[in-house]
Amino acid sequence: MSIQSALLIAASSLNVEQQQTNLIANNIANASTPGYVQEELPQSELVNGTTGDGVVAGQIQLISDQAAATAANQASGSQAYSQALVNGLTPYLSQLGQATDSSSLPEMLSTFSQSLTNLSSNPSDPSTQTAAITAAQNLASTLNGLDSSVQGAREQADQAIGADVTTVNSTLNQLAQNKAQLKSAAAQGQSTAPFVDTQNTLLTTLSNIVPIKVFQTGDNGIVVTTDQGTTLLDGQVHQLSFTPTPNITDSMSVTADPATGLTGGLSAVTVDGQPIAMSQSGDLAAQLQLRDNVLPQFADQLNEFAGNLITGFQQADPTVTSGETGLFTAGGAAVDAGNPAQVPGLAGSIAVNASVDPSQGGEAYRVVAGAHATSQGNASDNTTVLNFIQALQQTQSYSSASGLPSSMTLDDAVSQVAGFQQATLTNWTSLNTSRSSQAQAAQATLSNQTGVNVDDQLERLMAVQQTYEASSEIISTVTQMFNSLTQAVSQP
């Protein structure tokens, strides 16, 4: 080997080891960066015939494990779904409270029931009459507040859907731009690792919102679809479409159904004019589930209870004729027990009849004599009050769609409503805990396969430094040899 060859080999080694040092430093710096994939710099020997001529660095490569990445994204999407359900339900169910809470719906009904019992024992006492009216108003007000909370939660879910759609569309656009840059780099023989890393990060973001499948194409491209086959990215971006609804009422749904009082008016999420098809995974599916299924079912339960409360007291009041209001009204109107189209919104509109409320020009004695009594009559007659107490124990019907038993008393119904709704949150909280553990385990597996092990990187750095020092020593030695040779030649 000539001195010049030794110098060139050492110089090429210095260059490659400097690149290795920079790459290792970057790996260590990003060891804690979520989703960062370890990079490697392959190197090969330059051979001139049968003689080594130095080393050369290849293109930066990523340590990838597609199966582990897919599993981690799927687990993360499932956990995002359950987390969204927990987050969406918690504020409303905090207001609903536990059955034994003093402000809970069961306690409000229990207090009202007790006030009627007290009134039956002393029907002529003005303070006892007032207490019964106040208890009825508190019960109606509690239903009003719960209905408002349900609708507020639906509106928040609708807003979250809009935000998810915006994020998905932005991410798809970034994927398309990154794909073009990746293809350009590949065509020019440049490293594609930075673009693959960006692509992986964007796909992780996407999978937390929408369950996806990713297909590699032969031209360094990808096709992205939902797990149920809706195409999101192929040769072009297929954007999601959605129109937010600022104010949502009980009667609003995606599809109208006049027979049950549903008016439609809510936007679906569509792609190319068709509803997006996807499984129950990711934040978007969870927000749709909250807005269109879980929360409407809660509202249905409250509305059916309110409807049966109104009609039960209409039927128990001897002064009420067909079409007239009883102790409770639907915003001042009567309710037809046989008309399911009236049910949506009853929990929000239920109120105590103005005819028994002195603050609205009514007479308190009507809580004893009947909502349409024209005079107090026999002040000690508790017949109507006993009818009201019996109304609380009267078996009434409930729709199978509500998720409640088909036949219950009002006392039973309020317990079923509170229990069903609290159990829903409890179940999702438990499931979310399990899914969180699964997502962490899947991410740990991916990190072990593709992430940065700082100890390993430090060992590699030491080896690189040793090689670098050896190459530097060769260059120093060769330089000294050149200097000695030059001096020898220049001497007379």
Domain carrying residue 266: 69-438
Higher pLDDT, 67 or 327: 327
Within-domain flag for 449: no
Q: How confident is the model at residue 487 (pLDDT cuts 50, 70, 90)?
A: confident
Residues 181 and 33 in one domain: no
- Closest to 368 (Cα-Cα) out of 343, 346, 393, 385: 385
Query: Do residues 370 and 319 lie in contact, with contact meaning Cβ atoms separated by under 8 Å?
Result: yes
Residues 484 and 401 in one domain: no
Within-domain flag for 448: no
Residues 260 and 199 in one domain: yes
Residues 104 and 235 in one domain: yes
Residues 74 and 221 in one domain: yes
Structure tokens at 68: 């582990």
Residues 218 and 102 in one domain: yes
Within-domain flag for 447: no
Within-domain flag for 100: yes
Within-domain flag for 154: yes
Residues 200 and 228 in one domain: yes
Residues 130 and 48 in one domain: no
Question: Quick check: 422 pLDDT over 60?
Answer: yes
Residues 83 and 101 in one domain: yes
Within-domain flag for 262: yes
Residues 297 and 332 in one domain: yes
Q: What confidence tens digit (pLDDT) does each residue in 103-117 have?
A: 999 999 999 999 999
- Closest to 210 (Cα-Cα) out of 180, 236, 175: 175
Residues 260 and 380 in one domain: yes
Within-domain flag for 481: yes
Determine the Cα–Cα distance for residues 130 and 113; give it in Å rounded to an integer. Answer: 14
Residues 52 and 74 in one domain: no
- Closest to 277 (Cα-Cα) out of 201, 213, 205: 213
Q: What confidence tens digit (pLDDT) does each residue in 95-104 have?
A: 998 878 889 9
Number of domains in the chain: 2
Q: What is the mean pLDDT of the chain?
A: 88
Within-domain flag for 458: no
Query: Do residues 263 and 252 lie in contact, with contact meaning Cβ atoms separated by under 8 Å?
Result: yes
The type of residue at 298 is F
